[in-house]
């Protein structure tokens, strides 16, 4: 009897990650919810889904990453989909170079780049053994064009995009690797971006900002697209065409 598909979604206590976890659960997957900050929200999310469990782990810490993947192996013995959604940023105007200290760089790169890398590497044995493992990295349009909440954040997402392509070439055919690059998404973090939201809604082809569910549907679509790997797919309502 085939095992129930298993997904790990890092950074899924809230926002985009939570929407992805819910969508994958609705699709019939056993979901491991992960986060390092809001433990109460992570546990509540897992409690509302069948075959779900919250595991606290900071993906910037290699020891905690190994603990997370050991839980998956012990509990499920398999992993079909890893969604690297955990990420951090700092809101710093691009022209304010002095505000971008070494500590800012390290804080962002440790989670967004190194954390994504070491989680993927730790998950690779389980993904390979599944026979059709898949990694989806949550990137950003800031990694495609000169935009974003800060220069270190944009650089980190550009690194994720190139990492996605490099990994896809390196780990096929056993594992596929793709990325989703959202534009402005309606999350609590973006609530203060009033001017930007109005601009996006006024000029982009789809005349609206995105929702976490929009990103979740694209993640699921990529997971179903068995002949697609190494792609970075924009989810920005067409904003990249105009602004």
For helices 39-47 and 15-26, the axis angle rounded to 10 degrees is: 20
Q: Which of 54, 71, 153, 227 is catalytic?
A: 153
Q: Is the pLDDT of residue 220 over 60?
A: yes
Residue 243 lies in a domain: no
Residue 239 lies in a domain: no
Q: What angle do CA 16, 18, 23 make, to 5 degrees?
A: 95
The phi and psi torsions of 10 (rounded to 5 degrees) equal -75, 155
Please state the domain count of the chain: 1
Q: Is the pLDDT of residue 224 over 70?
A: yes
Q: Which domain holds residue 35?
A: 6-234
Taken in order 191, 193, 198, 201, is the CA torsion positive or negative?
negative
The more confident residue out of 186 and 9 is 9
Nearest to 210 by CA among 15, 45, 22, 34: 15
Residue 240 lies in a domain: no
> Strand, helix or coil at 197?
helix
Cis peptide, bond prior to residue 83, ω within 30 of zero: no
Q: Is the pLDDT of residue 231 over 70?
A: yes
pLDDT-derived band of residue 1, with 50, 70 and 90 as boundaries?
very low
Task: Say which residues have a Cβ less than 8 Å from residue 74's Cβ, sequence separation at least 6.
Answer: none
Task: Say which residues have a Cβ less than 8 Å from residue 170's Cβ, sequence separation at least 6.
Answer: none
Average pLDDT in the chain: 93
8 Å CB contact between 17 and 219: no
Share of the chain above pLDDT 90, in %: 82
Nearest to 148 by CA among 191, 184, 192: 184
Residue 150 lies in a domain: yes
Question: 9 has which bridge partners?
Answer: 33, 83
Residue 1 lies in a domain: no
Q: Is the pLDDT of residue 191 over 70?
A: no
Q: What is the mean pLDDT of residues 195-210?
A: 80
DSSP category for residue 178: E
Taken in order 163, 25, 55, 142, is the CA torsion positive or negative?
positive
Give residue-wise pLDDT tens across range 127-178.
Answer: 999 989 999 999 999 999 898 889 999 999 999 999 999 999 999 999 999 9
Residue 84 lies in a domain: yes
Residue 185 lies in a domain: yes
d(CA 35, CA 59): 8
Give residue-wise pLDDT tens across range 31-69.
Answer: 999 999 889 999 999 999 999 999 999 999 999 999 999
Q: Is 153 a catalytic residue?
A: yes
8 Å CB contact between 25 and 6: no
> Domain containing 92 — which CATH number?
3.40.50.720
Residue 241 lies in a domain: no
């Amino acid at each position: 009897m085939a095992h129930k598909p298993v997904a790990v979604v890092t950074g899924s206590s809230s926002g985009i990650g939570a929407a992805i976890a819910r969508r994958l659960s609705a699709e019939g997957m056993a979901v491991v919810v992960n986060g390092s900050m809001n433990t109460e929200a992570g546990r509540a999310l897992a409690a509302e889904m069948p075959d779900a469990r919250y595991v606290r782990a900071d993906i910037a810490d290699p020891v905690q990453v190994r603990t997370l993947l050991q839980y998956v192996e012990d509990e499920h013995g398999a992993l079909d989909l890893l969604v690297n959604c955990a990420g951090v940023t700092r809101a710093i105007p691009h022209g304010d170079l002095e505000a971008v200290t070494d500590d800012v760089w390290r804080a962002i790169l440790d989670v967004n780049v190194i954390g994504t890398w070491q989680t993927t590497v730790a998950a690779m044995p389980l993904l390979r053994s599944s026979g059709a493992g898949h990694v989806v990295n949550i990137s950003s349009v800031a990694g495609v064009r000169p935009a974003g909440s800060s220069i270190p954040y944009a650089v980190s997402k550009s690194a994720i995009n190139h990492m996605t392509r490099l990994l896809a070439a390196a780990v096929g055919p056993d594992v596929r690797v793709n990325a989703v690059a959202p534009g402005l998404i309606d999350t609590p973090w973006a609530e203060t971006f009033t001017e930007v939201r109005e601009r996006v809604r006024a000029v982009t082809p789809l005349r609206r900002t995105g929702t976490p569910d929009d990103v979740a549907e694209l993640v699921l679509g990529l997971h179903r697209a068995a002949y697609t790997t190494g792609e970075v797919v924009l989810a920005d309502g067409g904003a990249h065409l105009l602004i």
